[in-house]
Structures are given as structure tokens and as C-alpha cells.
Amino acid sequence: MTVAQERTTSQVTTSIGHPLEPLTPEEIKAAVSIVKTEKALTGSFRFATVTLKEPEKQRVLSFCPGDPISREVFMILLDNATATTYEAVVSLDEPRLVSWDPIPGVQPPIMLDEFVACEAAVKACPEFQSAIAKRGITNPDLVMIDPWSAGHYGIADEEGVRLSRALCWVKANPTDNGYARPIEGVIPVVDLNKMEVIRVEDYGVVPLPPKDGNYTPEYVKNYRQDLKPLEIVQPEGPSYAVDGHEISWQKWKVRVGFTPREGLVLYNVTYTDKGEDRPIFYRASLAEMTVPYGDPQPNHYRKNAFDVGEYGIGSLANSLKLGCDCLGVIHYFDAFITDSRGEVAQIENAICLHEEDFGILWKHVDWRTEQTEVRRSRRLVISFIATVGNYEYGFYWYFYQDGTIQYEVKLTGMVSTAAVMPGEVPKYGTLVAPQLNAPIHQHIFNVRMDINVDGQNNSVYEVDIVPEEDEHNPYGNAFYAQSTLLPTEKAAQRLIDPMKGRHWKVVNPSKTNAMGYPTAYKLMPGENTLPLARPSASVINRATYMTQHLWVTPYSADEKYPAGDYPNQHPGGVGLPQWTDADRSVEDTDIVVWYTFAHSHSPRAEDWPVMPVGTIGFMLKPLNFFDENPANDVPPSVSRHSCCG
């Protein structure tokens, strides 16, 4: 890293080359120590979030190497003793506690070590032991518990109580796949502040499903024998370069960060064109995801998880392994967060960076001259994978040589299972094994993109492909791309329409390409649908962002999460629906584009015991951003196998 500044405080010496470099372990320790000392914190305090307080956007955009860098830390803390949430800001430069504010009526996300303590509390509960004994389970040590968020259903005695509804399974032995045997109908409800079971809901005995669902080498013995090695080799190394957390590849520059809530964050994405680094977006991340289930039965209707806001998808990131999660020449970035006691927790290999072949980039055969030109496409991949209980999510940003950006989510892991009576065929799910039901559900994602196409002042247009009116269409064949400006926040709440080839373009009205078109990027929807819960459902009130595929807001540093800052047990009405109620102008200004996309999962037998990967996402493509194909200068492939060039 090029060192821009050497800075010493009483706690830590650190070398930081850019204002958006993630916090180092030393900075995290120093910040936690400052708060503990200045507020004389007792052992009842938990640290839900410790992350970089990002500097003002304009300060970052105007930063030059060698400029002074100010470092602040943002924290969310929970006092279990008083059930009070606090937000704190610490200055590492001075060093001191800058602010300490109680935030009434909210619940921070459920923390990873709360999962462990919750499981122990449930297993030790006599009422729970009695409930599972009725089902023939005598060894609580074999019980497997996933603490799910409780949501908000207007139940008076739940108000203000930090809750988890613990879903339970049982293993046949310590290495068994517990998800094969749900303990149906038994739901312990836990006060996470007191770490006590406050009630055990029992909806009646359902027999345990009879069949194992194991998938590991310990159990699977007859592997395929006809696979030959497939090697990915880059004898001269990769084409990218890494300086701290800034990546340079081909004509792309991207800075990566990581937060416990969002996981991977991208900053300052630019593409070099004719010697100029042209900006595309300032910041982009997964801002929220919601997983609503479709079973209305008493023991299932509360299953809906906000995996970003209620758990922190970044804190659940995997340590990735070469040859398994990533192939080729890999550069890894570690992530540093804290456990709930403020101790530094390192996630080794949290972010994977590599490049990969992606088939044909472009090709043409001139049959007159018999000349063939073809170029191979290569893309840069920046990714992380998180495990949320039973489910795995892989999050991938792809950058292509022609200026295209793609975001993709890969879904795999285990379906969340339920047991049914012998002979029962579930209406709201699929039998994946005898008496084992995989309930129907959705995965709904929202990506927040602080768009800066060729600069900060942008406008958004909706583009539909429409047939020409009869008076101008004598042969009935004419159609064209119709662009409609979305000038305000409410006008910019839009749905996809694949029958019209609908996409949206983000335009810089003050910049043009060689043909006089305003420079733009277009957002191209992929697979998508709408939430299937009724408008009156609790999950819709809490995640109203799901009801529109496109939202556009004027940039505000405080507007970060579409379902609000604290969705855990919140009744809703905050975030995007609250902000956009003002119907602010989003024309020719600094804007944020929020894109929602949904995968409806009706499980199938082939999803058990481990789901093959499914994918969903969207693309951002240059639209008259360049004067011509920017990948014209990609050289022909050169290798001992090459036949082109």
C-alpha cells in the first residue's frame, strides 16, 4: 500500500492510504477500548456493530494521496441489563468518544454468539425437555436449534422484549444432518436479553420423519469415478493489481470494503476511457434481503427473515477455500469485525478476487475474405459467501471488458424443513422425503447503488419497447424504444414489464458521446417477481421495499437501508416508504438507485438434501456511454491451444 499518512494515538499506530480503507484490528481494539473506558461499560453490554464511519462523500471524491485522513468508528451497542440500544461514534484521531445516544424502541440484529447462548438456554429448559420427551427424544444434546427472528405481530406482551423463536431439529448422531428430522410443533420463545425461555409453544405431536438426509463423505461412498482433472492455470499470474483494498483490472478500478451488516461493499467504480477514469457508481452493496415463507399454520406463519438487517449477512461470511469456493489465481481479503463482547474477530479469506474465462466476447466471420476474428471474454469476479442457518448465499459482482457490470446471487445449502403426518401431502410445500416437507418461500433482495454515471448529477428514464401508432405504421411492423423521465421519487417507484422489454437508464444529461446521445448506463432486470404475501401481511408492512422493483431517491448519507436501520422486531413503515413520501425531485441530481429482485422457490425433490445452486440477479450495461465498442482493443487469444488471431 502507498502510505499517505502515519498517525499515532494513545491506543494505536496505523498507516492508512485511503479514507475508505476498512478498520484494522488495531483500530477496532482502540475504538472498543475508548468506549469501554469512557462509559465504564459493564459486562451486560454487547457490541452489535463496530465499523468504519465512512467520511463525507465529497471529501472522499476530492481525496488525493497525501491528504490528511480522519478516522471515525460507528458502533451499535445493546445493554442486556436495561434492554437499551445505543449508537456511538469514536474518533481515533483525538482519541475520544464523540457521541453516545440511546435509540429507544429498537432491537439491534441478533448476534452470532447469541445463537450459541440461545441454544444452550433452550436445551436446559425443563418445559422444552418435557415437550421433546413426548416425541421420544431423550437426549437434548442431539437437538439442533436455529434461533429465528420473531418479526412483529402486535402481540402486547412481546413489545420491548428482545425475542427469538427457536426452530428445532434432532440428529440421530453427532454428525447426522439434523434438518432431516424437524421437531414439528415445538417452538421455544426466548428472551435474548435475559437468555431465558419465556414460553414453549406446542402445537401437537407429529412423528419424526424416518429417513436420513446425509450428504458428507462419511455417508456418501459411491462417488462418480469418471471425472478427469480440470486445471485453471495462469503461468504469468493474474491481470489484476491490488493496492490495499483498491483493485485495478483492465480498464476497471474498484475499491472493496466490508461491513458486518452488508458484507461486501464496492466503492469508486470507474472505467478508463481515452485516459480518463470515468465514474459509474460511488457505492454499491446488498442493502436488505427478506425471506418470507408461505405456510399459514400457527407454527410457521412467523417465518420471515431479514438476513441483512436482522442478522448481519457480513458477520455470517465464510472463510473461502481455494479449489472449493474459488478456482484459479486468487487474491483474498480478510475481514475484521467483532464478537458481541467487542473482541476482534477475523474472517480469513472473506472476499475472493479472481478472473475467469467467460466464453466469446465478440466474433465475426467475413465470408467474402474468409477472415475470422473472435475474442475471448474475461471477467473479474469479486465475491463472498455467507451461511444463514440452513442456507448459503453467494454474492458476486462481475466486471466485463466491454464495460458491463453484473450482480448475481447464488442460492444453495439446505431448505428449511418441517415434518408432516404420515400420508399427508402438504399444500404449502413439497415432500422431499417421507414425512419431510420443504415449505414454499421467496428470497427477495435489494441492492443499493449510489450511481454516479460520468458525474454526480443523473436522471432516470424508464424505457419500453412499444409498437408505433397506426398513423405512422402503414405496414404494421414499426416499433421503437420509448423513454419516459421519472422526475420524482413517487414517479420512480416502478415494476418490471418483460413483455415490453422494460429497462431503466441512468443518464447524465450534461455529458454526450460522439453521436450526441447523453451518456448512460441501463439497468437490465433478470428473473424477478413480486412478493406473494397480502398487502396486510406483517412482512409487507416491515419490508415495503419489496412491493416495487425500482426505487430512486436523492442521495442522503443517512438513508442506507430500505427497511430502516433496525428492522428486527420493528412494525414497519420506515426506510424507503417513509423517505419517498416526500416525493423529492430525482431529476438531474445526485441519486441513489435501489433495485429489488425476487426468487420464488417452490422446492422439488432434487433440492434435497443439498440444493444445487440457483442464480438470480441483474446487469448494468453501458448505453451510449462510449463512442463505440470499448472491447475492440481486446487482443486475440494467445496460447498453445489457440486457433484465432
Q: Which long-range contacts (CB under 8 A, 24 or more apart) does 634-640 make?
A: 634/361, 634/375, 634/401, 635/375, 636/373, 636/374, 636/375, 637/375, 637/376
Domain closes at, from 83, 103, 123: 103
Q: Which of 267, 282, 311, 391 is catalytic?
A: 391
Q: What is the largest CA-CA distance in the chain?
A: 85
Q: How far apart are CA 188 and CA 127, in angstroms?
A: 9
Angstrom distances, CA of residue 134 to CA of 145, 206, 295, 333, 479: 18, 10, 25, 49, 68
Query: Do residue 190 and residue 267 come from a single domain?
Result: no
Which percentage of the chain shows pLDDT scores above 70? 97
* Paired sense of beta strands 344-366 and 479-485, if any: unpaired
- Can you read off the three cell numbers belonging to residue 426? 402438504
Answer whether 201's CB lies under 8 Å from 186's CB: yes
Collapsing DSSP to helix, strand or coil, 248 comes out as strand
Residue 645 scores a pLDDT above 80: no
Cell triple for 517: 446521445
What is the pTM assigned to this prediction?
Answer: 0.96
Query: What's phi and psi for 491, nearest 5 deg?
Result: -65, -25
213 occurs within a structural domain:
no
* Contact predicate 352/319, CB 8 Å: no
**Residue 391 known to be catalytic:** yes
pLDDT value for 5:
32
In a shared domain, residues 16 and 155? no
Amino acid at 366: D
- Is the residue at 628 inside a domain? no
Angle between helices 112-123 and 126-133 (to 10 degrees): 70
Domain containing residue 364: 240-623
Q: Is residue 262 part of a domain?
A: yes
**Judgement on whether residues 426 and 512 belong to the same structural domain of the protein:** yes
Mean pLDDT across 337-341: 97
- How many angstroms separate the Cα of 421 from the Cα of each of 85, 185, 205, 208, 460? 43, 12, 9, 9, 53
DSSP assignment of 462-528: EEEEEEPPGGG-TTS--EEEEEEE--BTTTT-B---GGGT-EEEEEEEEEE-TTSPEEEEEEEE-S-
Q: Which residues contact 343 (CB under 8 A, 6 or more apart)?
A: none
Shared domain check, 153 and 11:
no
Q: Final residue of a domain: which of 202, 224, 249?
A: 202
CATH of the domain at 128: 3.10.450.40
pLDDT at 552 (0 to 100): 98
Q: Which residue has the cell 494515538?
A: 9
Residues 265 and 193 in one domain: no
Whether residue 320 contacts residue 263, with contact meaning beta carbons closer than 8 Å, is answered with no
Q: Say what the pLDDT of residue 10 is.
A: 40
Give per-residue pLDDT as tens, 460-515.
999 999 999 999 999 999 999 999 999 999 999 999 999 999 999 999 999 999 99
Q: What is the mean pLDDT of the chain?
A: 95
Whether 134 and 250 share a structural domain: no
- The catalytically annotated residue of 191, 202, 307, 590 is 307
Q: Is residue 221 part of a domain?
A: no
Using pLDDT thresholds of 50, 70 and 90, give the confidence band for residue 640: low
Spatial distance between the Cα atoms of 192 and 116, rounded to a whole number of angstroms: 11
- Give tens-digit pLDDT for 156-180: 999 999 999 999 999 999 999 999 9
Q: Which residues pair with 86 in a beta bridge?
A: 77, 102
Give the model confidence (pLDDT) of 279-315 as tens digits: 999 999 999 999 999 999 999 999 999 999 999 999 9
Please check whether residues 363 and 297 belong to one and the same domain. Answer: yes
- CA 498 to CA 467: how far, in whole Å? 15
User: pLDDT tens across 35-89, in order?
Assistant: 999 999 999 999 999 999 999 999 999 999 999 999 999 999 999 999 999 999 9
- Tell me, yes or no, whether 359 lies in a domain: yes
**Do residue 443 and residue 567 come from a single domain?**
yes
Residue 422 lies in a domain: yes
Burial (CB count <10 Å: 0-12, 13-18, 19+), residue 88: buried
Q: Are residues 70 and 118 in the same domain?
A: no
- Total tally of structural domains belonging to the chain: 3
Exposure of 242 in the CB half-sphere (CA atoms within 13 A): 15
Residues 103/86, Cβ–Cβ less than 8 Å: yes
pLDDT tens for 29-48 read: 999 999 999 999 999 999 99
Q: Which of 68, 86, 103 is the last residue of a domain?
A: 103
Please indicate, yes or no, whether residues 344 and 477 belong to a single structural domain of this protein: yes
Residue 597 belongs to domain with CATH number: 2.70.98.20
Q: Which residues lie closer than 8 Å to 558 by C-beta, 6 or more apart?
A: none
Residues 616 and 512 in one domain: yes
Tell whether 493 is covered by a domain. yes
Residue 74 falls within a domain, yes or no? yes
pLDDT of 338 over the 90 cut: yes
Judgement on whether residues 323 and 461 belong to the same structural domain of the protein: yes
CB contact at 8 A, 348 and 335: no
- For the residues 193-208, what does the mean pLDDT come to? 97
Are 613 and 623 a contacting pair, CB within 8 Å? no
